A = this chain, B = another copy of it.
Amino acid sequence: MKIYLDCYQCFLKQALSAARRAGGTQEQQLSVLKKTMSILNDLPKDAIPPEIARLVHQTVRHEISCSDPYREAKLASTKQAMVLLPELRKLIKNSSHPMDTAIRLAIAGNIMDLGVMEDFGNLHTTIDRVLNQPFAIDHTAELKELLESSDHVLYLADNTGETVFDRAFIEKIKIPVIYAVKGSPVLNDATEQDAIEAGLDTVATILSNGSDVPGTLLELCSPEFVSAFNNAPVIIAKGQGNYESLSKSGSKVFCLLQVKCPVIGEDIKAATGSIICKRC
């Protein structure tokens, strides 16, 4: 998905938020804003949001000498979601369609996105909503079929905290799961450390994608990850960043997300607030 003109303002907002989380002084925050505007001014015509976001967050980390501005927020997110894990399991167990409920909960967890909002409000409200609203795009039947017939699945993580919702879903998947995380910190995306803190190592094989893109750009991933991507019979790609980078990558990829900004909504043809399970 190409950048929209509406994304420009959003990158400035995200840069300032990240700079503040990194503890930057006023001067450092201003410097981050100016460098972000310089990045936006020099964009190639076919730039896609995750590669721009990567440059913006690299700028923040470099200007403020902070390797992981979202570390504290990520720890809090994991803690907040871990409290809910028994409840998520219970919802799945007591459901008349456990796999559907597990998929919906994994999508509910996608609300824990600090790239779009400063906080994600009450998680119970989101869970109730996502368990009951209709899908705007619903390819869950095909996904469930492939999760029955394939020998394994590659699961591309998105945000920290959302990982716990992924964990509840993965506990219901009967085939082996490779859980791919970011190679190094960017935004509140889950790294290996973040995933382990949410116990994903107890239900899946964790694999770093070797990159700091908030999304999945294969040309910037490690050879090991690219090989896993190519060999996977089915891929679950969580969140907006993965949709932005993988929406044209073939029918084995299923994007699971909540639409949290109007630009994604326009691209995917669904209103903000929609839930999506889209086969690419």
Interfacial residues, chain A to chain B (CB-CB below 8 A): 5-6, 8-10, 12-13, 16, 26, 29-30, 33-34, 37-38, 40-41
Residue with the highest number of chain B CB atoms closer than 10 Å, among A5, A26, A40: A5
Are the C-beta atoms of B30 and A41 separated by less than 8 Å?
no
CA A8 – CA B35 in complex, angstroms?
13
CB distance from A16 to the nearest CB of B (A): 6
CA A40 – CA B29 in complex, angstroms?
14
Are the C-beta atoms of A12 and B16 separated by less than 8 Å?
no
CA A30 – CA B41 in complex, angstroms?
10
Q: Which B residues are in CB contact (< 8 Å) with A5?
A: 16, 26, 29-30, 33
CA A5 – CA B8 in complex, angstroms?
15
In the complex formed, the residue of B with least CB distance to A26 is B5
Q: Which B residues are in CB contact (< 8 Å) with A26?
A: 5
In the complex formed, the residue of B with least CB distance to A6 is B16
In the complex formed, the residue of B with least CB distance to A12 is B9
A-B contact pairs, 12 of them (CB 8 A): A5-B16, A5-B29, A5-B33, A8-B12, A8-B16, A8-B33, A9-B9, A9-B10, A9-B12, A9-B13, A34-B41, A37-B41
